[in-house]
A and B are shown apart, each in its own frame.
Chain A
Amino acid sequence: MNIMIVGVGGQGTLLASRILGNTVINEGYDVKVSEVHGMSQRGGSVVTYVKFGDKVFSPVIDKGEADIILAFEMLEAYRAMPFLKKGGKMIVNNQKINPMPVIIGATEYPENIGDKLRENIDLTEVEALDIAKEAGNSKAVNVVLIGVMAKNTDIAYEKWVETIKTTVPEKFLDVNLKAFEMGYNL
């Protein structure tokens, strides 16, 4: 199983990949999680990969090989579209964050990304930012999306909750558990 998490630096993709990685390891799979650190984290496009199965070799995912893409932002979802396997599924947070070339007016943010994605692939759109705010913190977008994704796997609800409890800092635990639950029950 190949899961790709894409977003904008600062959106919490790293935590999402860690929750995912730690949950599948408890299921007894071999697992590799590839992360991004340093310069590219500063508001740029970020991509992390979670791969699990009997034996995993490469930590990265090539074009046409992702079973699930978890996208934290519309433009990044669109950029990642070619990585989705035929028959794969994309879950996208419908938030838009303008990249610097758009902000300075050098280019425009592509129109109707949702429609363009739906024409090509199986898409679930989520208003994760609103849900995260409702759960108590706009930063919990990542855990909302993990919740939506969890519903699409064979791994039991409790198992996810267990890892969230061990991965997320104590003082943000309640908000994150709420965010996960709201995403899961969407």
Chain B
Amino acid sequence: MKKLLLGNAAVARGAYEAGVRVCSSYPGTPSTEITEEIVKFDKEEVYAEWAPNEKVAAEVAIGASIGGARAMSCMKHVGLNVMADPVFTVSYTGVNGGLVFCVADDPGMHSSQNEQDSRHYAKASKIAMLEPSDSEECKEFTRKAFDLSEEYDTPVFIRLSTRVSHSQSLVELKDRENKEVKPYEKNIPKFVMMPAMAKARHVVVEERIEKLKALAETDAFNKTEINDTKIGVITSGIAYMYSKEALGDKVSYLKLGMVYPLPEKLIKDFAEKFDKVYVIEELDPVIEDHCKAIGVDVIGKEKFTLLGEYTPSMIKKVVLNEDAPECAELQENIPIRPPVMCAGCPHRGTFYVLKKLGLVVSGDIGCYTLGAVAPLQSVDTTICMGASVSAAHGMAKARGSEFNKKLVSVIGDSTFMHSGITGLVDIVYNKGNNTVIILDNSITGMTGHQDNPTTGMTIRKESTKQVDLIALCKAVGIDHITVADPFDVKNFEKVVKEEVNREEPSVIIAQRPCALLKSVKYTGHCTITDKCKKCKMCMKLGCPAISADGDGVKIDLNQCNGCGLCINVCPFDAITKEEN
């Protein structure tokens, strides 16, 4: 049966067909749907969970593999940084049940803070990496990755990119292989990585890579398509699809489905047939550098950019010197439409107050990163998950206590559990005085509403123990914890003022649920009355429903959800609520 599946759903299907039994992940665009799709399978067949972070997730999968089950962990590219520690060592131990790490890169940074190329990790950690180019390959490569893992006693990476993860194409569904959990046997030389054992395992790793190189020379994952003999193209992943679209049968292809280790003879034999050979790959010159290192003359990044996504027309221009079709170009500059916090977003109240107080805001990763966008422009820094807390500690140590009275960290509930808590421990342990605001919106927002340890629900929506943020902060040594509603702006402002001036570390839990949660029922809409003095205070909120109307202000009824934040900031009581 053929079905239209998202690349991510196809990866999930491939894992299911391969008999995967355990999947542990942390959400991150563009990888999130893989685990969300895994959960849709019978829980008797597959156990799935959201872990607090990618390192924990990877370790759960590693444990499951050592325990004999086929296991997987899925993450976005920056998540791979978080889980890199166990990854480099599980490369040495190898596996028991098949072990697959699925990493999704984000060329073009649709929803990411950097554009790193995860293929470097495969080479650095000496772990085989497969790269599918459409949903059918997502499914088949994932399925085969588990066999590869067990056959070569290695973890295997699947590398995706946004366009592969988030495109739907046709997939042929097969039945699930019923893989029994393998026996567990204590094996100290294989699984205890202390120096003496690790030295022996490193030898095994190098031997394994040689065997995988031999596999790369075959057509198991790498395919040759010979058409014309003038131009050859070496490519992989989504770049293969762009190349096929742009160049069709006018050139020949070496499509690499295994991007680590890369073949030598296969590339040399292919390249010698052509007058010119291009390497077409998004982001870094990984394949190109390999070609050059083995003495194959190729054209790559001198013609193609290191930045962002490629397009078929870009490839057509470089390789065939053909222009894109004519089109009706715009004759004027038009306004951009950047993403914004939704109407009713609880973070809007927080950033309104922080901006009003002129505080330096050490920011983090989540919807609330949008607090850096005009008109709020409140956030000063965004680096990575958890950095809001630890970086603020560093800023305070660098600039002293007066600066610290103008400094706060903002971090979401899920991000706090991910890696904010360790920064808070650092602050307490090392006598910092920082104020950390936990933006508790009762969900993981940006990636589309995943549960986390603070929501009291598992990935399967079963109720579970809920991390008590207050008790947690107390336990690490925070004596001043205040829960405040960011929509009660007067009180929230008072609380923030008090806490930043305190000579001790403190935590404010800004508590209000995400406006998109089904449990949140705002009704009616807000409306401007004739008491309006046109001061435009409400427009400082950056609410998508409120805009200028001549010299006054209007509220768009289709955008407004009646959250009432604007009513709370209007100094003239000129905004009221109307029921629909």
Chain A residue numbers with a CB within 8 Å of B110 are 36-40
B391 to chain A, nearest CB (A): 21
Q: B327 near A: Cβ within 8 Å?
A: yes
Other-chain contact of A41, B244, B246, B332, B339 (Cβ < 8 Å):
B339
Candidate in B110, B169, B335, B446 with the most chain A CB atoms within 10 angstroms: B335
Q: Which residue of A lies closest to B32 (CB)?
A: A37
Q: Which residue of B lies closest to A138 (CB)?
A: B558
CB pair B340–A44 under 8 Å, yes or no, is yes
Chain A residue numbers with a CB within 8 Å of B328 are 81-82, 84, 120-121
The A-contacting residues of B in range 326-347, CB under 8 angstroms, are: 326-330, 332, 334-342
CB pair A38–B30 under 8 Å, yes or no, is yes
The A-contacting residues of B in range 277-313, CB under 8 angstroms, are: 311-313
Chain A residue numbers with a CB within 8 Å of B2 are 25
Other-chain contact of A104, B326, B337, B446, B539 (Cβ < 8 Å):
B539
The B-contacting residues of A in range 56-107, CB under 8 angstroms, are: 56-60, 62-65, 75-76, 78-79, 81-86, 95, 97-107
CB pair B29–A34 under 8 Å, yes or no, is no
The B-contacting residues of A in range 88-146, CB under 8 angstroms, are: 95, 97-110, 120-121, 129, 138
Interface size on B, residues (CB 8 A): 61
Chain B residue numbers with a CB within 8 Å of A39 are 29, 110-112, 339, 369, 446
A103 to B542, CA, bound (A): 8
A12 to chain B, nearest CB (A): 13
Q: Quick one: CB contact mask for B549-580 with A, threshold 8 Å, 1 for yes? A: 00000001011000000000000000000000
Q: Which residue of B lies closest to A22 (CB)?
A: B4
A63-B313, A86-B327 as given contacts; A31 in contact with B334, CB under 8 Å: no
Chain B residue numbers with a CB within 8 Å of A43 are 337, 339-342, 544
A110 to B334, CA, bound (A): 7
A35-B6, A63-B325 as given contacts; A42 in contact with B342, CB under 8 Å: yes
Q: B245 near A: Cβ within 8 Å?
A: yes
CB pair B341–A42 under 8 Å, yes or no, is yes
Q: A30 near B: Cβ within 8 Å?
A: yes
Q: Quick one: CB contact mask for B137-177 with A, threshold 8 Å, 1 for yes? A: 00000000000000000000000000100111110000000
CB pair B546–A103 under 8 Å, yes or no, is yes
Q: B215 near A: Cβ within 8 Å?
A: no
CB pair A31–B325 under 8 Å, yes or no, is no
A63-B313, A64-B327, A104-B375 as given contacts; A45 in contact with B539, CB under 8 Å: no
Chain A residue numbers with a CB within 8 Å of B112 are 39
Q: What are the 7 tightest A-B residue pairs by CB atom distance, in nearest-first order?
A: A38-B111, A38-B29, A64-B325, A64-B327, A44-B339, A59-B167, A99-B337
Please name 30 pairs of A and B residues whose Cβ atoms are closer than 8 Å in the assembled complex, sorted by A. Answer: A21-B168, A22-B4, A32-B169, A34-B166, A36-B110, A38-B29, A40-B110, A41-B339, A42-B370, A57-B244, A57-B245, A58-B242, A58-B246, A59-B167, A81-B327, A81-B328, A82-B327, A83-B327, A85-B325, A86-B326, A97-B556, A97-B559, A98-B544, A98-B547, A98-B556, A100-B373, A100-B375, A101-B336, A104-B375, A106-B374
Q: Which residues of B contact A (CB under 8 A)?
A: 2, 4, 6, 29-30, 32-33, 110-112, 134, 163, 166-170, 238, 241-242, 244-246, 311-313, 324-330, 332, 334-342, 367, 369-370, 373-375, 446-448, 539, 542, 544, 546-548, 556, 558-559
Q: A37-B448, A39-B112, A138-B558 are in contact. List 16 more A-B contacts (CB 8 A).
A: A10-B342, A33-B169, A36-B166, A37-B33, A38-B30, A38-B448, A42-B370, A44-B340, A45-B336, A57-B245, A59-B238, A64-B327, A82-B328, A98-B556, A100-B337, A129-B558
Q: Which residues of A contact B (CB under 8 A)?
A: 8-10, 18, 21-22, 25, 30-45, 56-60, 62-65, 75-76, 78-79, 81-86, 95, 97-110, 120-121, 129, 138
